[in-house]
Amino acid sequence: MRVESNWWEHFFEGLSVKLWLEALSPEHTDSEADTIARLLRAEPGAELLDVPCGGGRLSLALAERGYRPTGVDLSAEFLEHARSCDGADRVRWEHREMRDLPWPGRFDGAFCVGNSFGYLDEEGNAAFVRAVAASLKPGARFILETPMVLKNLLGHLQHRPWWKVGEMYLLVSNQYNHEKSRLDIEYTFLSNGRAEVRHGSHQAYRYSELYKLIASAGFDVATATPWTREAHSVTFIATRQ
């Protein structure tokens, strides 16, 4: 499978956006927003950075809780949806690449959750974490959730899983490249007789590698819960030095 290195620039268009917007329930989003607020230890009124924010579900939920979020994403379609939602005027939306965070020392907390980390190459991923660090006030927390920890990923990886979301189907073909430590993925989105195929790739890390990557950006690093091999993702709590 050949995947372009900049695949993420044009992946989130059309059916992929439609599926992601419908994939999670409002109840799931509320629970996730409450967890993020608790882990960040930021008081309502604090400025929070959601990067990448996708369709804005978490920024909007945190705005409802009294926070002042900034949502950053490169997908124009995701941001168009975000800006059309109720309460969108309580969030600042920024059409930017995830490393482009020109707000030194501004935020009281930041988060990157779901499967949003690892799109870039190793240097790009490190540059992203450094950019987040630079945007935070000293003592502010960064929540990084990722399934791309090798011992977790390889223990759960299926070659051809599929999901149904509403009236849409997502078919996935996974190929792990052990030489590059990357998971290359072919996604097929199906809806009402229409099919769209996308290709993506994620950098995977040993736990110790990812821990050191975050720490080298100027963070003190811990995890939200003790690591277990059975977990589908790992949540790092990184405190800006």
What value does the mean pLDDT of the chain take?
Answer: 96
- How much is the pLDDT for 113? 97
Residue 230: band (very low, low, confident or very high) from pLDDT cuts 50, 70, 90 = confident
- pTM for the whole structure: 0.97
Rounded-to-integer distance, Cα 204 and Cα 226, Å: 20
Residue 8: band (very low, low, confident or very high) from pLDDT cuts 50, 70, 90 = very high
Q: Which domains does the chain have, with CATH numbers?
A: 7-147+205-240 (3.40.50.150), 152-200 (2.20.25)
Query: What is the mean pLDDT of the segment spanning 98-127?
Result: 97
User: Per residue in 11-50, pLDDT tens?
Assistant: 999 999 999 999 999 999 999 999 999 999 999 999 999 9
- How much is the pLDDT for 227? 82
Query: What is the mean pLDDT of the segment spanning 146-152?
Result: 94
Say which range, 70-79, 131-140, 199-208, 226-235, has the weakest mean pLDDT. 226-235
Rounded-to-integer distance, Cα 9 and Cα 124, Å: 14
CA 1 to chain centre: 23
- How much is the pLDDT for 198? 97
User: Per residue in 119-148, pLDDT tens?
Assistant: 999 999 999 999 999 999 999 999 999 999
